Amino acid sequence: MTIIKKIIITIIKSLKNLDKKILKILKYGLRFCFAILVLSAIILFTYLFFVHSGFIFQIGLLTFQIGLCFIAEFFASAIAVDTISKHNL
């Protein structure tokens, strides 16, 4: 078993054992991030089909990057907060 596979299995196990409140916040956060990703897709489709402006492309790309970063942050924060609350640190 490779190291990466072990890390992925550990992350999946920790996500399955999240506290109910933290899981609820994580779900709302992921919905928010999905809305940002849909907005960025709309902006990029606007660039592709209607307006060929570099500014529109950069805005769409930036919002897409922000959405992906927020997804990673929500997962990392949820695991960190759950770990801290379980260990009473």
CA–CA distance, 1 with 83 (Å, rounded to integer)? 25
Mean of the pLDDT values across residues 75-84? 90
For residue 39, the enclosing domain spans: 18-87
Domain count, the chain: 1
**7 part of a folded domain:** no
pLDDT > 80? residue 22: yes
CA–CA distance, 56 with 69 (Å, rounded to integer)? 20
Q: Measuring CA to CA, which residue among 12, 84, 77, 15 is closest to residue 4?
A: 12
CA–CA distance, 14 with 78 (Å, rounded to integer)? 10
**9 part of a folded domain:** no
pLDDT tens profile 44-77: 999 999 888 889 999 999 999 999 999 999 999 9
**10 part of a folded domain:** no
**81 part of a folded domain:** yes
pLDDT score at 11: 83
**2 part of a folded domain:** no
> Residue 56: left (phi > 0), alpha (psi -120 to 50), or beta?
alpha
